[in-house]
Structure 1
């Protein structure tokens, strides 16, 4: 269990993790601002909008800001995600997004946990499964194929392996492999690269995969991925990946882990000492063909 204070953690999350560009910015990725919004393009399938707060914008000014993002990405023929948090203001922001053509996707819970207690657990996958850090494109392609299969066949991946902050599925996962490859390339020259990818595998198949991003200048490492093949769930693989990445974070001097948890992974994480600090809902605008 943990005595972490949810209010203090939310303040730290808001100030340290929100409205941050990737560091370093991968090749092919653009980052710009429109007022309080940080607009990121080229990191995955479309665009991503994030912010610390909206600076008190309401009414017509807020509608104008929303419409500009929609129109910007519509002109490019790309979808865009507006990441709405449960404590964001104004209270009618969700309604204004919907009115502008954004559609809500599945809500997740932002949880934060202590590195130290999680890193004290020995990463112990079941017999026949090993954990391995990867960087090669062939492994990234395997991860993308795993994600697509899990999401298309099992929804979000089940209870022990639905995942961390999730780059979800679709018909083609090449965008995920492309994005991870660009991130790895951007950090390759640094003494401490900001991304580490870990797979759980047998001699015959890739079982699960997760990655950890180390956020420079903060207390946070953030966890992503975690989807696990259905016949390997509830055997401790997700927890083993979690412990492995917690140990990486501890070695780098980070004290907190953050996850956008699905309803399947949230109970697992809370039992391991993670604390709920807010919720997050992707509102996505998809241009018409």
Structure 2
């Protein structure tokens, strides 16, 4: 398939409602436009607009929607879009931003080279050098952009069930000095998020590895300008079109962070579990009970000791715990939902589960087949559901005070307590 056919395939999916979108993101459709609300910012996507579209009215509606949330917005305009769209955005108060080439590269046959164990030099998958995760974050987030997808945004997005997140790092004497990242979504492309170096060998090595690894034979798509554009062309990419960004900031101050987001294993989820193992002496087992050293103060309820029918026990538990967390946490504080051996999330209980906001992430409080936890980052309070003991542990004075009466009414007296 040539670059023109590949671009037509990409262009045909612009403005489609995504089958999957990141946790914490609200997707809204307004005629030909798809808005994504991240809380911290927003984006506008659409297919080429039909002739006769009232651009002034369309742009004004988007500004109203983002202004209500205080979200700065980015609107991408491609070279083949209406020539009137850019001027219409500028007339509405948008400012023109960067301009980049859109570049596409087909997959490469065969298998990419294997990583060596415990490498110290060259380009390698970050998962081979997990101890460099913090250094990788510092290099990627601190590098000058703008990148097509900022590293922190990609990590917060996570990946769809069909997607991939691929992170390559350049090691010099065992230390990360450059980072490249790419990610997939439901589109038939793997998207190059960013490269912190335009070194010819680094760019080619990263992109060749992605072209070998790209899921389901999907081509790579990149946005770049300047020397990085030249390096990508030398590495086998072909230019499909150009794109310019337009930006608008509403009067309200944007939120400092997303209302909910995915916990990346290397940067967030893994370190949190490590602390939980250590601080609570966690021993996951189908037979070891209790699985944690219960903190003080805490109380443990048997989820089925009441011997009476509760039509929707998981929903009842969720409602009680949600009310308790709203009472026990500080405004703006995040709650972390953990699921042993599975994806975890963090969320602001005051900014999720209400109209116009994203749903509460995760599978709830009831331990339906695995350990489920709600806890604050400092672990001073939380809940721990044991799937085989069929118990719910609650700890921390503020949370216990908020939920003890309701849980006792629902489940009976606690079976264990620590003052």
Q: Partner residue of 2:231?
A: 268
- 1:68 is aligned to 61
The Cα shift of 1:210 comes to 2.3
CA distance in structure 1 between the aligned counterparts of 2:96 and 2:217, rounded to whole angstroms: 33
2:12 is aligned to 15
1:54 to 38, 49, 62: 49
Residue 204 of structure 2 corresponds to residue 208 of structure 1: no
**Deviation of residue 253 (structure 1)?**
2.5
Taking the aligned partners of 1:265 and 1:237, their CA distance within structure 2 comes to 11
Residues in 2 aligned to 1:80 and 1:39: alpha-carbon distance in whole angstroms? 9
Q: Matches of residues 10-159 of structure 1 in structure 2 within 5 Å?
A: 10-16=7-13, 18-20=14-16, 24-42=20-38, 45-58=40-53, 61-89=54-82, 91-116=83-108, 128-134=121-127, 142-151=135-144
TM-score where L is the length of structure 1: 0.73
1:102–1:135: structure 2 CA closer, same or farther, 3 Å change rule?
A: farther
2 CA distance for matches of 1:143 and 1:55?
Answer: 44
2:219 corresponds in structure 1 to: 256
Map of 2:148 onto structure 1:
166
- Alignment RMSD: 3.3
Cα deviation code 1:109-163 (max 9, x no counterpart):
001112126x777599x98234123499996654443244321xxx66xxxxxxx
Question: For 2:28 and 2:212, how far apart are their aligned partners in 1?
Answer: 34
Q: Aligned pair count?
A: 250
Q: Which among 191, 194, 219 is matched to residue 164 of structure 2?
A: 194
Residues 48-87 of structure 1 show CA distances to partners (whole Å, capped at 9, x for unaligned) of 10111222243xx221110111122122221000111011
What's the secondary structure of 2:178's corresponding residue? strand
For structure 1, list consecutive stretches of 5 or more residues without a partner in the other structure.
Answer: 157-164, 169-175
2:73 and 2:19 map into 1 onto residues whose CA distance is: 21
Any idea what SS the aligned residue of 1:65 has?
Answer: helix
Q: TM-score, normalised by structure 2?
A: 0.52
Specify the structure having the higher radius of gyration (Cα).
2
Query: In the alignment, does 2:211 pair up with 1:241?
Result: no
Contact 1:123 1:241 in 2 (8 A): no
Query: What is the CA–CA distance in structure 1 between the aligned matches of 2:47 and 2:131, rounded to whole Å?
Result: 37
User: Which structure would you say has the larger RCO, counting Cα contacts within 8 Å and 6 or more residues apart?
Assistant: 1
